[in-house]
Structure 1
Amino acid sequence: MAKTINQVNYTETDLDKFALAIKQDGICVIPNVFNQELIEEWQQAFEKLFQERQKRPGGLAPREKARYYLTLPWIAPFANEEVFANRVVLEILNRVFWQEYVMVQLGCDIPVQGSDYQEIHRDFRPLFSEQIFTPAYALAINFPLVEVTPDNGPFQMARGTHLLSRAEGLAKIASGEIPMESFYLKPGDIIVRNPFALHRGSPNLTATPRPMIVMGYVIHWLHTPKVDLTLSQDYYQSLPAQTQQMLRCQVIEQLDINKAETYINFKY
């Protein structure tokens, strides 16, 4: 299996700046976290899995027109501790979260040709109400398996809207005060974002799917029934105890490779 070698040795100061950007802007792009060998390995495995899931009833979750979601199975190469527990990822999570956290999601967003703009949305509801600000209780790590360009469906987000009510954020976007910004990425780059910030997917105008991996992490007490992780007992037991504690997962004797997609659409 390809190893995850960070392309840039980020310093403590760098990591502090990334975490501050997430707190203030709701998003940060960190270049060159994963090497090209790993990305190529994931891309080849994804293409095979995507083709197989397309043929299977219930194999993909539809996300509006010509856009799909796929929960990745915890098998090689996707079951890789050096990805979901990568040093850079954990250093950022440790700086942003104010309590213990768990990983709850490993999937892929896939717009294909014919997709359109998503409705501007959040991935989580407020904990209490729009009028009560709370520190980050969920973070998403995204990384593409192909270069993200203006033509193949870049992720779009309005910076700072995680600090606003939904109505105020939408009003500022509509007036142009806060733009919907497109984020272009090279393979190996990651986005760390607050899923409470207003965002959307954009159209893929090319003939090639644009797979974007999403890893979801939440404060340990947050209930997340709409996503799930399922690990084989052998793989789970091979992990260090600290890593096991970081995963909110179902552990079973043997994975069901024909399991239907369990994703439920969540937009707020």
Structure 2
Amino acid sequence: MLASIQAQTQQFDIASIMGGLYGDGIIGLKGAFDRSWVQEVAEDIEVLFQEALQRPGGTLNRGPNRYYVETHPERLRGFVDLVSHSWVVAVCEAVLGPEYKIVEIGFDVPGPGAVNQPWHRDFPTPPETLIGRRLSSLAFNVTTVDVYEDMGPFEIAPGTQWDDLSEFEHGMFPPKSLYGRYKERAQQKMPKMGDISARSSLTIHRGTANLSNKFRPVLVLGVEAPDATQAVQHNLQVTRTFYESLPDQVHRHLACRLVDQLEPLVQAHSIEGLLMGDT
């Protein structure tokens, strides 16, 4: 299995991967999965989202009508397919090194009426990036619907993962006086079911207003270098039975806590600056 994955990853050009993530801060692969696979993921997310809405602390508010839910890997039928996909593995190894760690699986759900978020990054720039100029974490996104302009597409300002925001709010939110820089660079992403993107969570971005009557769920996979120092705490847990069923290529990278029975997750990574939207 490991030899097979290694052979598949060699089809991807490391220089292009590194150039994209160190340059624009985002890259993608179109048609990575069949639409039927994405539909299964969408069904699982819908179940998990409804469960989370009923549980205290089950969701994080990321702005009006916008939610984030971190979940358990084994509750998603597509988890193993995603983390063992040859492109995902190639990107992780190229940017984060061969001992990268899978630290988070969850999903964003921007609903009808979601407003523009303020421009932001997901956490303060860690020293290995600010001083050492090295990326130590990545976020992979997989949309579960075809995205159109009225659905509040994700918007990103390429190249801004290197901006120093340490003097501004929480090291994550640029002041409005700098918004012109991000609006000039802004690219809206409208992926289709089956596409994958990988980005540095430090690249300045925002969710835009969802003017449609549709939800736009997107699966999120978080991966880090083994020496990453950013302070976001995750609670990835898997049952021993599930862990033992995983291919070696997967469980050797899984930074998780083994449990006999899954415990309900209380969402911890709140970003206060997003709660009111772009006011």
Percentage of matched positions with identical amino acids: 27
- AA aligned to 1:104 is V
Change in 2 beyond 3 A, CA 1:196/1:131 = closer
226, 242, 248: which is aligned to 2:233?
A: 226
Matched with 1:261 is 266
Q: Within 1, Cα distance between the matches of 2:272 and 2:139?
A: 14
Aligned 8 A contact 2:128 2:136 in 1: no
The structure-2 alpha-carbon separation of the partners of 1:58 and 1:217, relative to structure 1 and needing over 3 Å to count, comes to same
1:30 and 2:38 matched = no
Shift of the 238–151 alpha-carbon distance from structure 1 to 2, 3 Å rule, reads same
Letter in 1 for 2:156: M
Distance 1:228 1:240 in 2: 21
2:203 paired with 1:204: no
Aligned to 1:246: 253
TM-score normalized by structure 1?
Answer: 0.85
What SS is found at the alignment partner of 1:92? helix
Corresponding position of 2:191: 185
Which residue does the alignment assign to 1:5? none
**1:101 equivalent in structure 2:** 100
Deviates more, 1:167-176 or 1:136-145: 167-176
1:89 paired with 2:94, answer: no
Paired letter, 2:267: T
Q: Is the 8 A contact 2:182 2:204 kept in 1?
A: no
Deviations 1:182-213 (A, max 9, x none): 11100010111011111111121222211011
**The residue matched to 1:12 in structure 2 has which SS?**
coil
Where do 5+ consecutive residues of structure 1 fail to align? 1-8
Q: Per the alignment, do residues 58 and 253 of structure 1 end up closer, same or farther by CA in structure 2, a change over 3 Å counting?
A: same
The amino acid across from 1:30 in the alignment is L
Cα displacement string for residues 210-264 of structure 1 (whole angstroms, at most 9, x for unaligned residues): 10111000111225543221101101112234422201111100113xx143232
The runs of 5 or more residues in structure 2 that have no matched partner are 1-7, 169-173, 274-279
Give the letter for the 1:255 counterpart.
Answer: L
C-alpha RMSD of the superposition: 2.7
- What code does the residue aligned with 2:117 have? Q
Residue 11 of structure 2 corresponds to 12
Indicate conservation of the 8 Å contact 1:121/1:267, yes or no: no
C-alpha distance 71-131 of structure 1, shift in aligned 2 (>3 A): closer
User: What number of residue pairs does the alignment pair up?
Assistant: 258
Structure 2 letter corresponding to 1:107: G
More helix by share: 2
* Change beyond 3 A, Cα 1:62–1:122: same
Sort the Cα spacing of 1:119 and 1:78 in 2 relative to 1 into closer, same or farther, 3 A.
Answer: farther
Whichever residue aligns with residue 259 of structure 2, its letter is I
**Does the CA-based 8 Å contact 1:69-1:263 persist in structure 2?**
no
Give the match for residue 112 of structure 1. Answer: 111
Mapped partners of 2:15, 2:28: distance in 1: 13
Contact 1:173–1:179 (CA under 8 A) maintained in structure 2: no
Distance 1:13 1:52 in 2: 38
